[in-house]
Amino acid sequence: MEKILTTQDLMDQFSNMNKDNSVCQIYIPGKGKFTIVLQEEDPKSIASEVRTNPSLKQLINESMEAYHSGDSASTTDLLRALKPKDFEK
């Protein structure tokens, strides 16, 4: 059982929870004991992934720069460029 003294301690407990670690017991002095249950995990957003993965942030920034400068091809352009012989063994 974790003793919670600050809001940061509580947020750390929430952050450590996932579908495999979904139950947490805590003690808050002056309040008592609590059991926290993570019932459903939200799918991660791109923004949260970028915050936790600096290399992903760099990749997205580089891709956006290439898109804005015209140095990239669209999916439509790629599909138009592909020929049946590209898929032959």
Summarised one tens digit per residue, pLDDT across range 10-59 is: 999 998 898 889 999 999 999 999 999 999 877 778 888 888 888 999 99
Q: How is residue 19 written in tokens? A: 């579908």
Reported confidence tier of residue 70, pLDDT bands at 50, 70, 90: confident
Residues 51 and 81 in one domain: yes
The reply to whether 7 and 28 lie within a common domain is yes
Q: What are phi and psi of 30, to 5 degrees?
A: 85, -10
pLDDT confidence of residue 71: 84
The total domain count for the chain is 2
Question: Do 33 and 50 belong together in one domain?
Answer: no
pLDDT on residue 51: 84
| CA distances from residue 47 to 14, 57, 60, 89 in whole angstroms, order as listed | 18, 9, 11, 40
Average pLDDT over residues 83-87: 87
Domain span at residue 80 reads 46-87
What is the pLDDT at residue 30? 95
The alpha-carbon radius of gyration of the chain (Å, integer) is 23
Same structural domain, 50 and 83? yes
Query: Is pLDDT of 8 > 90?
Result: yes
The verdict on 33 and 52 lying in the same domain is no
Token duo for residue 22: 């979904």
What is the model's pLDDT at position 78? Answer: 85
Distance of alpha carbon 32 from alpha carbon 7, whole angstroms? 15
Is residue 57 domain-shared with residue 31, that is, in the same domain?
A: no
Contact 66, 72 (CB under 8 A): yes
Cα dist. 50→55, 56, 63, 68 in Å?
Answer: 8, 6, 14, 20
pTM: 0.47
Task: Examine the domain organization and report whether 6 and 33 are in the same domain.
Answer: yes
